[in-house]
Chains A and B, each alone.
Chain A
Amino acid sequence: MDFVSVRFVIFMSFAILAFHLCSKKYRAKLIMPLLNAFFILTFVKHPTELWPFALFLVTGFWCIKLMERFPTKKNAALTIGAILTLFIYVKKYAFFSIVPFMRGVYLTIGLSYILFRILHILIDIYGGAIKERFSALTFFNYTCMFLTFIAGPIQRFQEYQAVERNLGEKVPLKREDIRKDLSRIVNGYFKVTLLSPVFLFIFNEFFTRIDSARYEATSFILCVVYTGACFVYTLHLYCNVSGYMDIVVSLGRFLGLQLPENFNKPFLSKSFLEFWSRWHITLSNWFKFYVFNPIVKALIQRRNKAGLIPYYGVIAFFVVFFLVGVWHGSSPAFLIFGLFLGFGMSINKLYEVLLRRRLGKKAYARVCESRWHRALGSGLTYSYFSMGATCIWMDFDKLMWLFRKIGIFGLLGVFLLGGLLAASVIALFSVLICWRDAGYERLYFLGRNLYFRQGYLSLKAFILLLFLVSKSHSVPEFIYKAF
Chain B
Amino acid sequence: MRHILRETLFLVWFLAAWYILALVVSYALYPDYKSDIIDTKESDKTIFQTSERYIIFALPKILSSPKKKIFFIGASNVRDGFRPKELQSVLPEYEVHNLAVSGSNITEMHDVVNILQLLPEDLMKKSVFVIGIWYGSFVDDEKHWGTANSSVITEALRYGLYRLDSGKPKLRVKMDYLSYATVLLRPCLFLQRLITKVYVYGDRLRTFAHNLLRKKRIDFSAVFNPRRPGLDEAYKRVALRRWQDFMGTKNGSFKDEQFEKFLDLSKLVNKSGAMLLIVDMPLPEWHRRGSPYWRNYQKKKNYYINEALKLGNVRYVDLELEIEDKDFRDSVHPQPEVTKQWGILLKTYIYQDEHRSTTL
Q: Which residue of A lies closest to B210 (CB)?
A: A209
Contacts of A454 in B (CB 8 A): 10-11, 14
Identify B4's interface contact among A178, A455, A465, CB under 8 A: A178
Contacts of A459 in B (CB 8 A): 18
The answer, yes or no, to whether B15 is at the interface (CB within 8 Å) is yes
Q: Are B213 and A173 in contact (CB under 8 A)?
A: no
Q: State how many angstroms separate the Cβ of A226 from the closest Cβ of chain B.
A: 13
Identify A470's interface contact among B3, B15, B19, B158, CB under 8 A: B158
Contacts of B15 in A (CB 8 A): 458, 461-462, 465
Q: Are A469 and B188 in contact (CB under 8 A)?
A: yes
Known contacts A16-B4, A173-B4; A470 and B14 CB within 8 A of each other: no
The answer, yes or no, to whether B192 is at the interface (CB within 8 Å) is yes
The answer, yes or no, to whether A432 is at the interface (CB within 8 Å) is no
Contacts of A146 in B (CB 8 A): none
Main secondary structure of the interface of A (DSSP, over half): helix
Q: Are B22 and A462 in contact (CB under 8 A)?
A: yes
Q: Are A472 and B18 in contact (CB under 8 A)?
A: no
Main secondary structure of the interface of B (DSSP, over half): helix
Q: Are A457 and B11 in contact (CB under 8 A)?
A: yes
Q: How far is the CA of A463 from the CA of B194 in the complex (A)?
A: 12
The answer, yes or no, to whether A174 is at the interface (CB within 8 Å) is yes
Known contacts A461-B15, A471-B158; A254 and B188 CB within 8 A of each other: no
The answer, yes or no, to whether B191 is at the interface (CB within 8 Å) is yes
Q: How far is the CA of A459 from the CA of B7 in the complex (A)?
A: 15
Task: Give chain B interface residues in 269-291, CB to chain A under 8 Å.
Answer: none
Q: Which residue of B lies closest to A20 (CB)?
A: B1
Q: How far is the CA of A205 from the CA of B209 in the complex (A)?
A: 11
Q: How far is the CA of A462 from the CA of B20 in the complex (A)?
A: 11
The answer, yes or no, to whether A221 is at the interface (CB within 8 Å) is yes
Q: Which residue of B lies closest to A16 (CB)?
A: B4
Q: How far is the CA of A470 from the CA of B154 in the complex (A)?
A: 11
0/1 string, A21-42, CB within 8 A of B gives 1: 1000000000000000000000
Q: Are A182 and B8 in contact (CB under 8 A)?
A: yes
Q: How far is the CA of A469 from the CA of B157 in the complex (A)?
A: 11
Contacts of A182 in B (CB 8 A): 7-8, 11
Q: Are A466 and B14 in contact (CB under 8 A)?
A: no
**Chain A CB within 10 Å — which of B7, B17, B158, B213 has the most?**
B7
Q: Which residue of B lies closest to A177 (CB)?
A: B3
The answer, yes or no, to whether A175 is at the interface (CB within 8 Å) is yes
Q: How far is the CA of A463 from the CA of B22 in the complex (A)?
A: 10
Q: State how many angstroms separate the Cβ of B220 from the closest Cβ of chain A.
A: 16
Task: Give chain B interface residues in 75-126, CB to chain A under 8 Å.
Answer: none
Known contacts A458-B18, A469-B159; A179 and B7 CB within 8 A of each other: yes
The answer, yes or no, to whether A467 is at the interface (CB within 8 Å) is yes
A sample of 4 more A-B contacts (CB under 8 A), given A221-B213, A458-B17, A461-B15, is A174-B3, A182-B8, A462-B22, A472-B191
Q: Are A470 and B188 in contact (CB under 8 A)?
A: yes
The answer, yes or no, to whether B206 is at the interface (CB within 8 Å) is yes
Q: Are A472 and B14 in contact (CB under 8 A)?
A: no
Contacts of B1 in A (CB 8 A): 16-17, 20-21, 171, 173
Q: State how many angstroms separate the Cβ of B198 from the closest Cβ of chain A.
A: 10
Task: Give chain B interface residues in 123-140, CB to chain A under 8 Å.
Answer: none
Q: Which residue of A lies closest to B157 (CB)?
A: A471
Task: Give chain B interface residues in 210-245, CB to chain A under 8 Å.
Answer: 213
**Chain A CB within 10 Å — which of B11, B17, B191 has the most?**
B11
The answer, yes or no, to whether B195 is at the interface (CB within 8 Å) is yes
The answer, yes or no, to whether B250 is at the interface (CB within 8 Å) is no
Task: Give chain B interface residues in 155-193, CB to chain A under 8 Å.
Answer: 158-159, 185, 187-188, 191-192
0/1 string, B1-29, CB within 8 A of A gives 1: 10110111011001101110010000000
Q: Are A467 and B11 in contact (CB under 8 A)?
A: no
Task: Give chain A interface residues in 160-175, CB to chain B under 8 Å.
Answer: 171, 173-175
Known contacts A459-B18, A461-B15, A471-B158; A466 and B3 CB within 8 A of each other: no
The answer, yes or no, to whether A416 is at the interface (CB within 8 Å) is no
Task: Show 30 residue pairs from A and B whose CB-CB distance is below 8 angstroms, ordered by the A residue.
Answer: A16-B4, A21-B1, A171-B1, A173-B4, A175-B6, A178-B7, A182-B7, A221-B213, A454-B10, A454-B11, A457-B11, A457-B14, A458-B11, A458-B14, A458-B17, A459-B18, A461-B11, A461-B15, A462-B15, A463-B191, A467-B191, A469-B159, A469-B185, A469-B188, A470-B159, A470-B191, A470-B195, A471-B158, A471-B159, A472-B192
Contacts of B22 in A (CB 8 A): 462, 466
Identify A472's interface contact among B7, B10, B17, B195, CB under 8 A: B195
Top-10 shortest CB links A-B: A458-B14, A20-B1, A462-B18, A470-B188, A466-B191, A178-B7, A175-B3, A458-B15, A178-B3, A471-B158
Identify A462's interface contact among B6, B10, B19, CB under 8 A: B19
Q: State how many angstroms separate the Cβ of B9 from the closest Cβ of chain A.
A: 11
0/1 string, A178-207, CB within 8 A of B gives 1: 110010000000000000000000000100
Q: State how many angstroms separate the Cβ of B15 from the closest Cβ of chain A.
A: 5
Q: State how many angstroms separate the Cβ of B35 from the closest Cβ of chain A.
A: 25
Q: Which residue of A lies closest to B205 (CB)?
A: A205
Q: How far is the CA of A20 from the CA of B2 in the complex (A)?
A: 10
The answer, yes or no, to whether A417 is at the interface (CB within 8 Å) is no
Contacts of B191 in A (CB 8 A): 463, 466-467, 470, 472
Q: Which residue of A lies closest to B190 (CB)?
A: A466
Q: How far is the CA of A376 from the CA of B4 in the complex (A)?
A: 44
The answer, yes or no, to whether A224 is at the interface (CB within 8 Å) is yes
Known contacts A175-B6, A454-B11; A470 and B18 CB within 8 A of each other: no
Contacts of B19 in A (CB 8 A): 462
Q: How far is the CA of A301 from the CA of B306 in the complex (A)?
A: 92
Q: Which residue of A lies closest to B216 (CB)?
A: A216
Task: Give chain A interface residues in 428-480, CB to chain B under 8 Å.
Answer: 454-455, 457-459, 461-463, 465-467, 469-472
Contacts of A21 in B (CB 8 A): 1
Q: State how many angstroms separate the Cβ of A259 from the closest Cβ of chain B.
A: 17
Contacts of B7 in A (CB 8 A): 175, 178-179, 182
Q: State how many angstroms separate the Cβ of A52 from the closest Cβ of chain B.
A: 30
Q: State how many angstroms separate the Cβ of B10 from the closest Cβ of chain A.
A: 6
Q: State how many angstroms separate the Cβ of A374 from the closest Cβ of chain B.
A: 31
Contacts of B192 in A (CB 8 A): 470, 472
Q: State how many angstroms separate the Cβ of A341 from the closest Cβ of chain B.
A: 31
Q: Are A173 and B11 in contact (CB under 8 A)?
A: no
Q: Which residue of A lies closest to B191 (CB)?
A: A466
0/1 string, B141-162, CB within 8 A of A gives 1: 0000000000000000011000
